[in-house]
Amino acid sequence: MDLGLIVITDSRLAAPRGVEAVVATALQAGAPAIQLRNKTATPAELYQQAIELRDLTRRYGALLFVNDRLDVALAAEADGVHLGPDDLPIPAARAAVRNAGRDDAFLIGCSTDDPHEARRAVHDGASYIGCGAVFGTSSKPEVGDERIGTDRLAEVVAAVSVPVVGIGGVSPDNVHRIAATGAAGVAVLSAVMTAEDVAPTVRALLAPFRRA
Residue 173 maps to a domain: yes
Contacts of the segment 92-98: beta carbons below 8 A, 24+ positions apart? 93/125, 94/124, 94/125, 96/70, 97/70
Full residue range of the structural domain in which residue 49 is found: 5-197
Residue 204 maps to a domain: no
Cα-based distances in Å from 143 to 136, 137, 139, 187, 200: 8, 8, 9, 16, 29
End-to-end distance of the chain based on CA atoms, in angstroms? 15
Contact present, 106 and 100 (Cβ < 8 Å): no
Q: Report the pLDDT value the prediction gives residue 104, as an integer from 0 to 100.
A: 81
With 0.85 as the threshold, say if the pTM is over it. yes
Q: Report the pLDDT value the prediction gives residue 146, as an integer from 0 to 100.
A: 79
Residue 212 maps to a domain: no
Predicted confidence pLDDT, tens digits, the chain (212 residues): 999 999 999 999 999 999 999 999 999 999 999 999 999 999 999 999 999 999 999 999 999 999 999 999 999 999 999 999 999 999 999 999 999 999 889 999 999 999 999 999 999 999 999 999 999 876 555 555 678 999 999 999 999 999 999 999 999 999 999 999 999 999 999 999 999 999 999 999 999 998 76
Residue 203 maps to a domain: no
Please state the domain count of the chain: 1
Q: Report the pLDDT value the prediction gives residue 211, as an integer from 0 to 100.
A: 79
Instruction: Supply the CATH number for residue 28's domain.
Output: 3.20.20.70
